[in-house]
Amino acid sequence: MYSNIRNIIFLIFLLFAVTIHAQNDRKKLEEKRINLQNEIKTINNLLFKTKKEEKNLVSQVTDLNQKIKVRTKLINAINEEANSISREIRKNERQIKDLEFELAILKRDYADMIYRSYKSKSKHSRLMFVLSSENFNQAYRRFQYMKQYTAYRKKQGEEIERKTLKLQGLTDTLKVKKADKILLLNEKKDEQSKIEQEKKTQEKLISQVKKKEKQYVTQIRAKEREERSIDAQIERLIREEIAKANSKSGGTESNTNTNKAVSGFILTTEGKALAAKFTENRGKLPWPVAKGLVVRGYGTQPHPTLPGITVESNGVYIATEEGSKARAVFEGTVLAIQSVSGQFAVYVQHGNYISIYNNLEQVYVKKGDKVSTKQEIGLIHTDRVTDKTVLKFQMWRDTNRENPTSWIYNM
């Protein structure tokens, strides 16, 4: 008996666990879809808020590629969620079918019981049934039997009521799930229509770009040379500042000659503690902008428009809204402020780590200032030709580059 009870409890627990797991999976899929929808809204707000000029064709194609890529992910996410709902619907339909079968048996048995009870009642009363007993023990057993029979009838009636309510609940849930699936399929159809239109626009733009491919390649090469020059300036300044800091601390690397190898900061006890704290927050640091979208990743990657062309990035490029401020990703000290191609770059030191905020048109801090996490440190420049506001964000560990995407939360 106890073994059967344990088995029943285990099955109930298993069913509950499976249901919760399915609900969690569905919730994750729904969150994924909503995040992708929000990302498309961000792309539209940050990259497509104004009509582009013809000289920005390559930029238009790049932006459109990004939107198509995210929309493709959204369609895949919708498919995943619709498939998940389909599985839930099939499971629900099986449960309804099983429950209807169980309910039919219960109702048949209950009707048979009522009929037998009625026939028995017509022959003799319950009192006569007890009084006609041969002895007291038999009378007691007959009395107990009638009590049990009455209780069983009541229990059967309650079970029918319970299963009827459960069946109604399952039926209502099924209707909701089918309605959810229809909404998702309509959304998928709408997204497919949009992506087809975007691909047509993309083909036209690429056709226009190819007509002036040599001109655009020349522009890209010139831009790459300018960026390499800026990156060299950044690296040189970092080495100089490390050498200066070590000289002040009485370290051996006191020579500020940039040709000399500089391995890294000689940290004080306080600096080591800050570096350790910074390392503990890897993958959890806030974004350097309140609202943004990565438009160029870290490292070497193929150009999104021109075949055979690669672009190199020592950090990430984050598009944001006009008037946005760059924010410190962690507490630290302003190590340096540098003028770069008419704009400014702010270097914030966190122990032996450095975060760099480049392409600022105004700076709110000065060298040596202590800054806190999320403190605004400068106004990000808006390009009046492309109408884009882009923060160029880098991270370094001593003289070594770091990939910001592995440090910033959900980048």
Residue whose token pair is 């522009």: 219
- Of 399, 360, 395, residue with least CA distance to 380: 360
Can you give the pLDDT at residue 123? 45
Distance CA 121, CA 129 (A): 10
Distance CA 361, CA 276 (A): 32
Mean pLDDT of the chain: 81
Structure tokens at 221: 């090469």
Query: Is residue 110 predicted with pLDDT exceeding 60?
Result: yes
- In angstroms, the Cα distances linking 87 to 37, 184, 205, 217, 271 are 24, 14, 42, 50, 55
Ranking 142-151, 308-317, 365-374, 386-395 by mean pLDDT, the lowest is 142-151
Q: What's the rounded mean pLDDT across residues 34-56?
A: 71
Q: What's the rounded mean pLDDT across residues 136-161?
A: 67
Q: In this predicted model, what pLDDT tens digit does every residue of 376-399 receive, in sequence order?
A: 999 999 988 788 899 999 999 999
Can you give the pLDDT at residue 278? 97
Query: Would you call 323 exposed, middle or buried from its count of C-beta atoms within 10 A (0-12, 13-18, 19+)?
Result: exposed
Domains, the chain, ordered by start: 2-211 (1.10.287.1490), 263-406 (2.70.70.10)
Query: Would you call 184 exposed, middle or buried from its count of C-beta atoms within 10 A (0-12, 13-18, 19+)?
Result: buried
Distance CA 329, CA 371 (A): 10
Q: What's the rounded mean pLDDT across residues 287-292?
A: 96
- What 3-state class would DSSP assign to 132? coil
Is the C-alpha dihedral spanning 178, 179, 183, 184 positive or negative? negative
Distance CA 32, CA 48 (A): 23
- Of 356, 353, 346, 350, residue with least CA distance to 332: 350
Strongest mean pLDDT among 141-155, 190-204, 265-279, 293-307: 265-279
State the pLDDT confidence band at 259, using cuts at 50, 70 and 90.
very low
Query: Is residue 138 predicted with pLDDT exceeding 60?
Result: yes
Distance CA 173, CA 19 (A): 14
Can you give the pLDDT at residue 121? 55
pLDDT over 70, % of the chain: 77
Can you give the pLDDT at residue 239? 92
Can you give the pLDDT at residue 172? 82
DSSP string, 147-192: HHHHHHHHHHHHHHHHHHHHHHHHHHHHHHHHHHHHHHHHHHHHHH
Can you give the pLDDT at residue 125? 57
Can you give the pLDDT at residue 56? 67
State the pLDDT confidence band at 272, using cuts at 50, 70 and 90.
very high
Q: What's the rounded mean pLDDT across residues 202-209?
A: 79
Q: CB-hemisphere CA count at 13 Å for 36? A: 21
Please provide residue 381's backbone torsions phi and psi, each rounded to the nearest 5 degrees: -70, 140
- Of 395, 392, 403, 408, residue with least CA distance to 354: 395
Query: Is residue 406 predicted with pLDDT exceeding 60?
Result: yes
Q: In this predicted model, what pLDDT tens digit does every residue of 341-356 receive, in sequence order?
A: 889 999 999 999 999 9
Beta bridge partners of 392: 317, 358
State the pLDDT confidence band at 135, using cuts at 50, 70 and 90.
confident
Q: Which carries the bigger pLDDT value, residue 156 or residue 408?
A: 408
Q: In this predicted model, what pLDDT tens digit does every residue of 163-175 receive, in sequence order?
A: 788 878 888 888 8
Can you give the pLDDT at residue 1? 47
